[in-house]
Amino acid sequence: MTPFGRRGAVARLLERRGDALVVTGLGTPTWDVAAAGDTDANFYLWGAMGAAAMVGLGLAMAQPNRRVVVVTGDGEMLMGLGSLATIAVAAPQNLVIAVLNNRLYGETGGQPSHADGVTDLVAVAQGAGIADARRIGSAEALEGLADEIGNPGRGPVFADIPVTDGGEARVLPSRDGPWLARRFRAGLALQN
Amino acid sequence: MDGAGGENWPAAIHQVLARYRVTQVGYVPDAGHAALIRMVDADPSMQGVVLTTEEEGMALATGAWLGGGRGALLMQSSGVGNCINMLSLIKTCRVPFLTIVTMRGEWGEFNPWQIPMGNATEAALGLMDLQVLRAGTAAEVGPMVEGAARLAYDGGAGVAVLLSQWLIGAKEFSE
């Protein structure tokens, strides 16, 4: 299939997110999620490469009644592959990991990633023990995943979303970690 | 080789974690933490999370705290080296964080491969701005971890408590 334009794919993915909580992996996925609409239910990583899925796990376990969506890239996911095994064992039903897979390291000069025709991230996730690991191969499948984000079902879900970059403008959210974290907590009515 | 342990210091740590309402305890399996890991896994008030590498523990604790929980990490000194960049999460976002580190590579160590990271453990944590405390005897463990938990969860700091090999006992291998 033709890969999705990344920004449109993220906008459609989060269009009906309801009260879902979103964690982004550093780099372009952070800009994509910010472009889809900044909200205090978003927590953006600007560093700690490889952390996104595990931040999602901790959040999903702490908020079992909320859908938690990790939106990250193939390079960021590759740095934390072990976390897929950790997530498979912990098995949080409310966690969705969505990998925007452009098969390259977009923020560092476009070097091909391991996912460029070699490493199959869906197979890795399945092999790690995440039974519902899928490649989003059609607009209908993307809409289906968006519905699942709005209406929590059984997880964890791993979704590889093939995307291309189209020279989208950088949409930069705040990079003030304490502020982002405390805004997020305040949105959950937690005392800071 | 027996060290200064003997009292039930793992139970003392578990009691502090429970009293401070720690909800997620990440760990990479470790002989020195084995008794505590069993207590964590048996306690319905907290969830033990087995990790593939120690660096996952900082990300887990960050997510836990973002969602209103509290995270702690149990690891061995050799795992501290795996954590360095991930400790930037704790510092950059000012995440309350407690880690309990069993030491290798010091008193009674027979395995030379454990010694470099054991020697560097305290300095490495300090470089990433964690407060580092050290317990050398079983009687110290409870009060030390109690104060560390208060520093972390009430004070909002990143804190490591090192449990010395003298306390834990040195690992034996028969030829």
Is the pLDDT reported for residue B5 higher than 70? no
More reliable by pLDDT, B5 or A63: A63
Q: Is the ipTM of this complex over 0.85?
A: yes
pLDDT beyond 90 at B174: no
pLDDT in tens, B94-152: 999 999 999 999 999 999 999 999 999 999 999 999 999 999 999 999 999 999 999 99
Question: Which of B50, B56, B66 shows the shortest C-beta gap to A185?
Answer: B66
Tell me what the mean pLDDT of segment B74-102 comes to: 97
Please report the pLDDT score of residue A13 as a whole number.
98
Counting one residue from chain A and one from chain B, the pairs whose CB atoms sit within 8 A come to: 117
Judged by a CB distance cut-off of 8 A, whether residue B82 touches chain A is no
Rounded to the nearest angstrom, the minimum Cα separation between A97 and chain B is 14
Provide the shortest C-alpha distance from residue B107 to chain A (in Å). Answer: 32
Convert the pLDDT of each residue in A72-102 to its tens digit.
Answer: 999 999 999 999 999 999 999 999 999 999 9
Q: Which of B22, B47, B93 to mutate to test the interface with A (most CBs of A within 10 A)?
A: B93
| For A177, nearest residue in chain B (alpha carbons) | B93
Percent of all residues in chain A with a pLDDT value above 90, rounded to a whole number: 92
Say whether the peptide bond before residue A156 is cis (omega within 30 degrees of 0). yes
Gap between the Cα atoms of A142 and B172, Å rounded: 55
Question: What CA–CA distance (Å, rounded) separates B110 from B113?
Answer: 9
What 3-state class would DSSP assign to B64?
A: helix
Measured at the CA of A176, the angle between CA A174 and CA A180, to 5 degrees, comes to 75
Q: What's the mean per-residue pLDDT of chain B? A: 94
Q: What is the pLDDT of residue A153?
A: 75
pLDDT-based confidence at residue B3 (cuts at 50, 70, 90): low
pLDDT tens-digit series, residues A136-167: 999 999 999 999 998 877 889 999 999 999 88
CB A82 to CB B60 under 8 A?
no
Contacts of A75 (CB under 8 A, 6+ apart): A27, A49, A104, A105, A106, A113
Taking only the tens place, the pLDDT of each residue in B6-53 is 579 999 999 999 999 999 999 999 999 999 999 999 999 999 999 999
Nearest-angstrom CA–CA distance, A16 and A108: 32
**Predicted structure pTM score:** 0.96
